[in-house]
Amino acid sequence: MRVVTEKIKLKPTIEPKMLDITKDVQGVLDGTGMKSGQALIFVPGSTAGVTTIEYEAGLQTDFREAMDRVFPRGIYHHDEKWGDGNGFSHIRASMLKSSLTVPFDNGDLLLGTWQQIVFCEFDNKKRNRELVVQFTGE
Amino acid sequence: MRVVTEKIKLKPTIEPKMLDITKDVQGVLDGTGMKSGQALIFVPGSTAGVTTIEYEAGLQTDFREAMDRVFPRGIYHHDEKWGDGNGFSHIRASMLKSSLTVPFDNGDLLLGTWQQIVFCEFDNKKRNRELVVQFTGE
Amino acid sequence: MRVVTEKIKLKPTIEPKMLDITKDVQGVLDGTGMKSGQALIFVPGSTAGVTTIEYEAGLQTDFREAMDRVFPRGIYHHDEKWGDGNGFSHIRASMLKSSLTVPFDNGDLLLGTWQQIVFCEFDNKKRNRELVVQFTGE
């Protein structure tokens, strides 16, 4: 058993943006040579999140529209502090959460056929993101 | 320390359905003989999720009604792709997320007295589900 | 590799309350002497949750208002069972979820600069909470 901690550097992102990072995670896993265990994907930041989805254009739009409806843009108390108008970005990130754990076995992430790991950028300023990907296993 | 990866086969489900899988997870844990570590429950699919709840009839209805209110059925862009009308299922699954980690110690899941692990089926077509349950510990 | 399971005792809380527990988690991690691995924070209960946020007053209010808007107080079916009027507490907890995993390396939690780990109390009765914090690593 061992722990391997790596980073995945994304190209700059601004909301609303969803990136399929499945191949990135699988690629780093391949590099470790580990066969069985779990991949922890973590966003070190408070205005983005991570989840799984069937990554196709329609659902990307649906996800964006659901976020706009449920956690709308607008005036948030947070904006009084920094004046950068991204209160909604923070709320979306805290609700979706910054952490996701996916099991792997025989060297493969145990995802469904139509299930991808996605990074969700909620920040209204362009951000350079580096995700933490940590594998625990053997 | 070791990793044990198992599956839990559910009877066919269709939304809206919530299943208490606590005893299933504890049962597989018992079989491993592990005493301390964490149980990762993962749905390999994009139209169901997993969380914890006090599993009683009223809350099951409340959970369903909250989902209906916040992420309503209706027309989603995803439906233009496959025509199967389950855009809402995908959005609910991505928001609730497909992964849950529960610690165990002395061989027992460290849940609260009124807290159960539940599988939430969101798909509008009957599905045969196999969950991944992975234990990391000793 | 080893597993260390500890508890963090909070002072009594009642909703709406968000507590920054980052230093508590880091403090327990320091005590283990572990350098690399993951911290699992788990709420053994069904009316509170855990996530990350930039812990400042404005966002605490925004988070509370978002919860009030999306998962409002009011009459829930659960209230018919116990009559304690905390159906909304359960729904919020199940939606936010009781589990969070944060990686650490070189002995430090790998959080963003403005990102804290927070406990979210949703229960309308004062509760004495003990969180499970479990470290897996080396």
Q: To the nearest whole angstrom, how far is the Cα of A55 from the nearest Cα of chain C?
A: 22
The 10s digit of each residue's pLDDT in B66-125 is: 999 999 998 899 998 888 899 999 999 999 999 999 999 999 999 999 999 999 999 999
Domains annotated on chain C, with CATH: 2-137 (2.60.120.460)
Nearest chain A residue to C92, by CA: A95
- Which sign does the torsion angle of CA B82, B85, B86, B88 carry? positive
Say which DSSP state C4 is in.
E
- Which sign does the torsion angle of CA C81, C51, C20, C10 carry? positive
Per-residue pLDDT in tens (0 to 9) along chain C, 138 residues: 999 999 999 999 999 999 999 999 999 999 999 999 999 999 999 999 999 999 999 999 999 999 999 999 988 999 988 888 999 999 999 999 999 999 999 999 999 999 999 999 999 999 999 999 999 999
Contacts of B103 in chain C (CB under 8 A): 5, 40, 42, 132, 134
Contacts of B90 in chain A (CB under 8 A): 53-54, 59, 62
Residues 6 or more apart from C113 whose CB is under 8 A from it?
none
Nearest chain A residue to C98, by CA: A97
Confidence band (pLDDT; 50, 70, 90) for A82?
confident
Nearest chain C residue to A100, by CA: C101
**Model pLDDT, residue C81:** 81
CB-based contact B87:A59 (threshold 8 Å)? yes
Q: To the nearest whole angstrom, how far is the Cα of B85 from the nearest Cα of chain C?
A: 23
The 10s digit of each residue's pLDDT in A6-38 is: 999 999 999 999 999 999 999 999 999 999 999
Q: To the nearest whole angstrom, how far is the Cα of A41 from the nearest Cα of chain C?
A: 9
Q: To the nearest whole angstrom, how far is the Cα of C92 from the nearest Cα of chain A?
A: 10
Burial class (CB in 10 A: 0-12, 13-18, 19+), B8: middle
Confidence band (pLDDT; 50, 70, 90) for A116?
very high
Cβ pair A54:B46 closer than 8 A: yes
Chain A, chain B: beta-carbon pairs less than 8 Å apart:
100
CB-based contact B138:B36 (threshold 8 Å)? yes
| C-alpha to C-alpha distance for A99 and C101, rounded to whole angstroms | 6
To test the contact with chain C by mutation, choose from A1, A2, A4, A5 the residue with the greatest count of C C-beta atoms within 10 A, namely A5
Nearest chain A residue to B74, by CA: A62
Q: Considering CB atoms only, which of B43, B91, B136 is closest to A66?
A: B91
Confidence band (pLDDT; 50, 70, 90) for A85?
very high
Residues 6 or more apart from C36 whose CB is under 8 A from it?
A3, A5, C104, C105, C106, C137, C138
**What's B6-72 look like in SS3?**
EEEECCCECCCEEEECHHHHHHHHHHHCCCCEEEEEECCCCCEEEEEECCCHHHHHHHHHHHHHHCC
Touching subunits of C (3+ CB pairs, under 8 Å) are A, B
| C-alpha to C-alpha distance for A29 and A134, rounded to whole angstroms | 9
